Structures are given as C-alpha cells and as structure tokens.
Structure 1
Amino acid sequence: MLQQLATRRRMLPALIVVLAIGTLGIWGCADHPTDYENPADGIVTTKTETALIEAATLMEWIDEGRLNSTDPNSRDKVVVFLVGTPAAYTTGHIAGAQLWNSSTEYALTRLEGVAASGSMVITGPVLDTILSRSGVDQYTTIVLTTADDFNKATRAWWMLRYWGFPKERIKVLQGGDAGWVLAGNTLSTEVPTVTPSDFSVRDLAAYSEFGGDFRVSIGEAIRAVDAINSGTTPDVKWLDVRGGVDPVAGGKIGPAQLDSWNAYYVAGTTATLQPVADMVAHLATFGVTEATPLTYVNCQGGVKCSVPFFILDGILGWPTQSYNGSWGQWSAYGNDTVADAWETDLVSPGTATSRSFGTWTPGTPVLDPVSHAAYGIADPRANQIENEDEAYFSSGGTTTPPPGGGGGGGGDSGC
C-alpha cells in the first residue's frame, strides 16, 4: 500500500504538467487563433464567385505581389497567360503575362477512333512544357486572357479542366486584354523573367481527377447521338455553336440545335460575356436549364464550343461535355470508306432517325488499318487519346499536394 502511495506521489507532478500543456493548447486555439499559422489562410484566388474574373480582381492580386511570385512560402501565386499568337503578344500584353502560343501549343493531330484528326487536345508533355517554363506549380492560380476572341482563352480553360486542374485554380479574364485596357490599365511589351518549375500535370493526380468526362471522343459522340435518337436520353441537349450554319446545305449532327458561340457576348465585343441572367435566358431558349442532366457542345474544331462549355462549367456549374473533334471530325466520318458502325450519315441502329441532318461533301479520312479493322464504337481501345492521356496523368508526379487539397482552396486549422 505504501509503495502504491509513493508511486502516485511521483506521478502527480507529471500529471500536472500534462494538464497544464493541454490547457495552454486549448487557450491558444480558442483565444489566440493567430498564434497558429495555417498556410492555407492566405489563399484568396480560389475563392472567387465563379471562374470569370474582372480586371479589378486581377489588379488586386498583382498589387498583392502574387503575379509570378518567387516567394518560397507563397501558397497562392498567380500566372497570367495571353493565349494567342507571338505577334499579338509582341504588340502588347498585361505586364507579367506569358505567352501560350495558339499557333503551336493549342491543338494536335492525333489518332482517335479509326482515323487521325486535327484540332485534338494537346498531350501531357506539351502542356507540361508550357506550365513548367512559366513557373506554374501546385500553388498557382492560372488566369487566361486573350487579345483576340474570347474562345482563345476558353479553349485553354477546357484543356486545363480536361487535364485535371481544379476549377478554383483556373480563371478567365472578362473582356480579355481589351477589357483590361478599358478598366484603365495599360499593356506592356516587356517579356517577364520567371523562374521555371518542375511541375507536371502528373502531379495533379495526388489531389484531383483526370477530366476525361469533359471531353467527348468520336465513338462517344456517335453513341450519344444514337442514345438521343432512340429516346434513351430524351432530356439531354446538344448545341452546335458554329454560327451562321445552313443545316440543309452544310449539314449538322442530328440532334444538335444551332446556336452561335458569340451569341453570349456583349454586343460589339469579342471577349466580354453578357450578364449571367442574360446567358441563362439564352440557354433556356434551347431547353438548357439547371435541371438538364447533360449538355453536349460542338463547333467546327472544338474551339468556339469552349465558350458555352466555360459558361456551363466555369460559371453556372451545370453538367456539360465538349465534343473535341466536332463537325470537322464528324463530317469526315460520313465517308463511305468508313465502316458502317462508325459512319455518321447512317441511321441510328434500331431507329429510322439519321445520325446527321442535311447534306455535305465529307472529307477523306486516312483510316488506321488496325483500329478500322478491329474496333467498334463502344470498344474502349478506340478512345486512344483519352487512354493515352489518362495513363500519363496517372503515371506519378514529384510535387506534394497543396494545403487543403483540391488546388489549395483551404484547410482546417486543427483547433
């Protein structure tokens, strides 16, 4: 008994110390939260209402020193890309902005389905080159602007979403460079000096998902049309936003409704979107609402249709998918040399409804002998681009995830 009492007396001071430390910890969290520094607390760029930002917001971030920041402790740097030609960049750009060359880094010819097609999404290594030379890392919010049509910036937005970038880490500048100047700012001709990074889209796999669901391949497009024609997906909508199309003489994808990419712009501008309420009202004329389960968009080559994709995904948060090959690829598959399962000017199986509407002169696709002989439209091997890209995305990165996950949008303090 005496031994037990002695032991308890020896333990008492230790217990008092433990209780004191615990009390101090609780006091520190409750009354002095600033004593704990959460690296996610200083993140502001991920908290905009939508992915569309005004010039004033970008200027605020620049004034805060976020643009091309070299601060090793920064968890919220900004990189601005002018998406356009070298000539446009040389003429003038937002000070500190870097070039995303729309002539060479915007689209590739790649094998998909039974033939190679142009205007396809760029590969992971190509995007890695753009991002790493520009200093983008896991703590970067990318702002896209253009000196041309708004669709230059939104095509880049769509490609970044496809490659797994969290929505909160990509912004598009309302009005582009013209809007920047209209807000009272100036352009520069100086090329910024930036510190490259070793960032790769493969690093995104640690906290984000590959965005294959944002892109529609030719096989998926044919199956989607067949499903609409058969009545399997009656509430799904399809918008063709090429603009100025004669559907009888020029042809279109069967269930697509004809819209125009620039119908969403403020009149007299090429890069300024209308107020949200006006765009929602315009979409409603095609039956596209918040309740629509999915809206497909296409154009000629996957550029113009990135405008409604951005509006639906980046502003409204409604389900949408962009048909990458669009009418350029679809119309080529109307050639009689294409196997019937892939031919786009035939009726959907089990229906009397054609996959296409109108008449056109199809191109002559260069058929791949292996895929044309072996693959059907539902064969996953025929989705070569997404198979290749997802494998690259998942092949392992080298950087650590940002605080809070999801591109560094926040995180718990632990208190």
Structure 2
Amino acid sequence: MTDSYRPFAAVRGFYESGVDASGCWSRWSKPANCEASPQELIHINEHFSSFLTLGFPQPCCVGKAVGQWILSYIFRQAPSCSVRFLMYSRVLISPSELAELVKHGPVVLIDTRDAASYAEAHLPGAVNIHEIFTYLATTTLEGLTALRDTFVQAFAKAGLSGKETALVYEQSMTTGFGQSCRGYVLLRYLGYPRDKIKILHGGYNAWRNAGLPSTSEASSPAPATFPSSDGERSLFVDLAEMKRVVADPKVVKLDVRDVDEWIGESSSPYGKDFCPRKGRIPGSVWLEWYRMMKPTAQGPMFKSPSEILAECATVGFGRDTPVVVFCFKGARASNTLVALEEAGIRDVRLYLGSWNEWSRDPALPIEEGLPY
C-alpha cells in the first residue's frame, strides 16, 4: 500500500453507500458467484491492517468510491477469497448481526451470567461460564498458570477449537460489571484467534429488546481441543510489571472502580472490608467505568469513539498515551479496555490482579483517605 492512501487509515467498516455507523458489519453488493459464509471471510487483521493505524476517528465516514477502492485493495491481497460479508475484527456485534452470523456458523455462545439467570432464559445454544466473572486472579507466575489452566479447560468444554466464533454476552453492558468484556480479554490472553472473538453489544437485554428468541433449555456442546498458543500475553500487566508502571510517569494508571472505592470508603464491590486495605494505587487517575456508556432505546451501550476520547481528555490522556487500566479484579477494567480500544487508544493494557491483588500485600504503597 502506498503512502498516498494513508489518509484512509483507520476505516472500520463501510456499506456500499458509505460507513456503517456501528462499525461492526458491512453489507456489500456481492458478485453473483460469491457464496462464502462469514466464516470464510478475509482475515481483515492481515489484509486491512494498513488502514488501521492513522487517520480518521473510528468509525469514520467514507463515500462509496473510497469504499469500493478499499474492497478492490482487499481482493488484490486475497484474490482467492470470495466474500458475501466483510466483518472487521471489532469486537462489538449487534443482536441482528449475531442473528445473521449464527445462520452461517460455527458460533459458540458464552453466557457469563449467574446460573439462575441462565436457567431462566438465555440465547439458544448458549453455554454458561459464570466463572469468567467470579474468578479472582493473581498475576504471579503461579496465579497466571492457574488462570490459564482453568479457562483453557472451561473454553475447551464449551466447544472452542479455534474454528468457531466465540460470542460472549452478559445481561447488559452496565449490570454485569463488565463480565462479557472480561471473557473477551481472557480469550485474547489465551491466544484464541482475535478475529473470532465477539461481544454482544447491549447483552441479553438488547437481544430480547430486538424480539429475538430465547430458551431455558441447557446446552451440552461437544468438548473440543482449545488451540495451543502463547496467546497475547502482553495484554496483561503482572504484579512485577505493575510495580514498575507505578514508578513511570509516562504511563497512565487508570482506576475505573466505583466512586466509593476510589475515595477509600470501600475496598471492593463484595463489601467494604473484603480487602485488608482501602485506597488507591499511587499516581492513578480516576475515570469511573460507567462513563464509557450511555443509555439508548436498546439499553446501555458504549459511547461513540469521539465521546470516549472526550472522557479520556478529562483525566489527561489521548490516543497516543500508554494506559494500564485496573479496577478490583479486572472485570470493569475489561469493559473500559474494550471501550478505549474501540475509540482508537493504541496502547491499552490490563492489570488483571487489580486492587484485590495490590491491596493484599502490605509492602506495596497505597494512597489513603480522600483524593482531594
């Protein structure tokens, strides 16, 4: 790709007549002989990556001519790939897009809610892995080994082999403390193909609000061999690295916990005294995780990229700032990580151990009392 096309970088998705405002799926008027399913799509990470580093905010508006040029570029890179739909590897997918995707499978639907909610009603065919939310991880070598063993087994039991799209959902984007996003980051960390990991934007509530079917029948998928990979290990910051990050003023330490935790009134969502200490990791800034979302007719959804960047600006960082995000155990922080990446923040990592790990070591410094 020549430099003359760099202004079209960061294009996330487009209809034949322009950009899809959601940036998730783009329908295209296919040739008559094109019969590929979504599972046979071009690997956009490989053939579209040169568009994703500079330029317009995402999603941005491009005209029909630019969209057609991008299509022709992709086809030149992968001429053997016949395509009916193009899906860029953004993680958020709407209920209608999911309904279309499952027609062409294979898709493994992962319900992260508690067992009672799952038993009452869930997406047809979904498996329940509530441990995605409840698991309290530490980021020592032993803790991360246990984390990998636990979730490789859980995802294999759910039927994930690397060939299937993994779709993770919760009740809504604000009621599950970010648990679907935690499932997303766990799958990335373990090395599941990134273009095959999706989050149902709006969660189960959005699915029901769209009038789509549910069931109370439990699913019994055939176990699979989870793909062997080193994974995206750099996505997580471990305890040893977090100590160095705290001393580095160039890295934003982003605390996204609820306000009572930030001001030191409570140690966790599990109770005020669940952790032995209350307070903050030194040098951190606060941006409550709820601020990444806004109400819509379909339920709470992520704000637009420009709105998210505006929120980031209030605490002093932007697209080019390295960020380590944390909360109590990495669930709400996973929600924020997804939002920041969707907004184009280029270097976002997760301290999974978060306050639950940091606060339990009395040798580690904290800031106590009110932050003002």
Given that 1:149 and 1:270 are in contact with CA atoms closer than 8 Å, whether structure 2 keeps it comes out as no
User: Which consecutive unaligned segments of at least 5 residues does structure 2 have?
Assistant: 1-31, 42-80, 266-277
Query: Partner of 2:11 in structure 1?
Result: none
TM alignment of 1:1-400, pairs within 5 A: 41=81, 47-48=87-88, 50-62=90-102, 64-66=103-105, 77-102=106-131, 106-108=134-136, 112=140, 123-147=147-171, 148-149=175-176, 151-197=178-224, 199-202=225-228, 205=229, 209-228=230-249, 233=250, 236-244=251-259, 245-247=261-263, 250-267=278-295, 272-292=301-321, 294-313=322-341, 316=344, 318-333=346-361, 335=362, 343-345=363-365, 356-359=366-369
Q: 1:331 to 1:129 in 2, by over 3 A?
A: closer
For residues 172 and 45 of structure 1, what CA distance do their matches in structure 2 show?
A: 18
Query: Partner of 2:45 in structure 1?
Result: none
Q: 1:46 to 1:153 in 2, by over 3 A?
A: farther
The letter for the 2-side match of 1:89 is Y
Given that 1:312 and 1:319 are in contact with CA atoms closer than 8 Å, whether structure 2 keeps it comes out as no
For residues 292 and 255 of structure 2, what CA distance do their matches in structure 1 show?
A: 14
With normalisation by structure 1, the TM-score equals 0.60
Deviation sequence 1:233-255 (CA, Å, 0-9, x none): 3xx21210112135366421111
Deviation sequence 1:374-409 (CA, Å, 0-9, x none): xxxxxxxxxxxxxxxxxxxxxxxxxxxxxxxxxxxx
Deviation sequence 1:169-214 (CA, Å, 0-9, x none): 11111110001111121321112343332x1242xx3xxx522211
The letter for the 1-side match of 2:352 is N
Q: 1:284 to 1:46 in 2, by over 3 A?
A: farther
Q: 1:303 to 1:39 in 2, by over 3 A?
A: closer
Task: State the SS of the aligned residue for 1:239.
Answer: strand
Given that 1:46 and 1:141 are in contact with CA atoms closer than 8 Å, whether structure 2 keeps it comes out as no
The letter for the 2-side match of 1:216 is V
Given that 1:80 and 1:144 are in contact with CA atoms closer than 8 Å, whether structure 2 keeps it comes out as yes
Given that 1:93 and 1:188 are in contact with CA atoms closer than 8 Å, whether structure 2 keeps it comes out as yes
CA shift, 1:275, in A, is 2.5
The letter for the 1-side match of 2:360 is A
CA shift, 1:301, in A, is 1.7
Corresponding pairs, count: 282
For residues 302 and 40 of structure 2, what CA distance do their matches in structure 1 show?
A: 34
Given that 2:328 and 2:355 are in contact with CA atoms closer than 8 Å, whether structure 1 keeps it comes out as yes
For residues 83 and 131 of structure 2, what CA distance do their matches in structure 1 show?
A: 30
For residues 349 and 368 of structure 2, what CA distance do their matches in structure 1 show?
A: 24
Given that 1:52 and 1:315 are in contact with CA atoms closer than 8 Å, whether structure 2 keeps it comes out as no
For residues 342 and 149 of structure 2, what CA distance do their matches in structure 1 show?
A: 25
Task: State the SS of the aligned residue for 1:137.
Answer: coil
Deviation sequence 1:335-373 (CA, Å, 0-9, x none): 2xxxxxxx222xxxxxxxxxx32259xxxxxxxxxxxxx
CA shift, 1:258, in A, is 1.2
Q: 1:201 to 1:290 in 2, by over 3 A?
A: same
Given that 1:302 and 1:325 are in contact with CA atoms closer than 8 Å, whether structure 2 keeps it comes out as yes
Deviation sequence 1:270-304 (CA, Å, 0-9, x none): 85222232222212222221121x10111112221
CA shift, 1:122, in A, is 5.5
Q: 1:264 to 1:318 in 2, by over 3 A?
A: same
Given that 1:149 and 1:271 are in contact with CA atoms closer than 8 Å, whether structure 2 keeps it comes out as no
With normalisation by structure 2, the TM-score equals 0.67
The letter for the 2-side match of 1:219 is A
Sequence identity, in percent?
A: 21
Q: 1:65 to 1:267 in 2, by over 3 A?
A: closer
Task: State the SS of the aligned residue for 2:301.
Answer: coil
For residues 139 and 155 of structure 1, what CA distance do their matches in structure 2 show?
A: 21
For residues 122 and 34 of structure 2, what CA distance do their matches in structure 1 show?
A: 39
Higher relative contact order (CA 8 A, sep 6+): 1
Query: Partner of 1:394 in structure 2?
Result: none
User: Which consecutive unaligned segments of at least 5 residues does structure 1 have?
Assistant: 1-31, 67-76, 336-342, 346-355, 361-415
Task: State the SS of the aligned residue for 2:112.
Answer: strand
